[in-house]
Amino acid sequence: MVSIVGRSGSGKSTLLSLLAGFMPATGGSILFDDQEVTSFSEKEWAEFRLNHLGFVFQNFQLISSATVFDNVELPLILKGVKKNERKERVGELLSEVGLDEHANHYPSELSGGQQQRVGIARAVITNPKYVFADEPTGSLDTNTESEVLALLKKLNLERKMTFVMITHDEEVAKIADRTLLLEDGMLKEGGE
């Protein structure tokens, strides 16, 4: 787990957008496991994201007209996973994140912490190698923040996924194994 910290406006979210292919790089290169991805077409990026990346957003980005189950299931549908396997995997993961009793609820019926756990479940349901989390606790209260951070760390360790977490909060960053500081357009080791 890597945290990237920096002041507001330092470019943390821009960096994440570049790494995820949401924004084209104007120079340099981006490699994942020695695979150059910088010049991917939009179609190649979409396939790469579906097969290798998961995303956790500060404002959850849930589909309001879809149930918790449906929100988590969506990436599996996009990957072409059969219905019975989808049902089993989503059910197991909702249980793991403590939302099995909320599977048929809609996002508006959930607390902020519950909505973020749905977002986390959706991010990891396909077992991506990398999970990008952009201020994942930014809109949560302190107690809920602790619960969400513990869940992220648990998934990181148990599922052997690399988490890259963007945060301006150095206390949040402390759960990571490594912290990088983004300052003046440069990544530097450590954040005080």
**Predicted confidence band of residue 191 (pLDDT cuts 50, 70, 90):** low
Residue found under tokens 């977002």: 119
Does the structure show a pLDDT above 70 at 192?
A: no
What pLDDT is attached to residue 41?
A: 93
Which burial class, exposed, middle or buried, applies to 18 when counting CB atoms under 10 A from its CB (0-12, 13-18, 19+)?
middle
Single pTM value for the model: 0.92
| For range 171-182, the mean pLDDT | 93
- Is residue 120 within 8 Å of residue 159, measured between CB atoms? no
What would the pLDDT profile of 57-109 be if each residue is shown by its tens digit? 888 999 999 999 999 999 999 999 999 999 999 999 999 999 999 999 999 99
Q: How far is CA 76 from CA 31, 94, 187, in A?
A: 25, 14, 34
What would the pLDDT profile of 105-128 be if each residue is shown by its tens digit? 999 999 999 999 999 999 999 999
The domain 2-189 belongs to what CATH superfamily? P-loop containing nucleotide triphosphate hydrolases (3.40.50.300)
What is the residue extent of each domain of the chain?
2-189
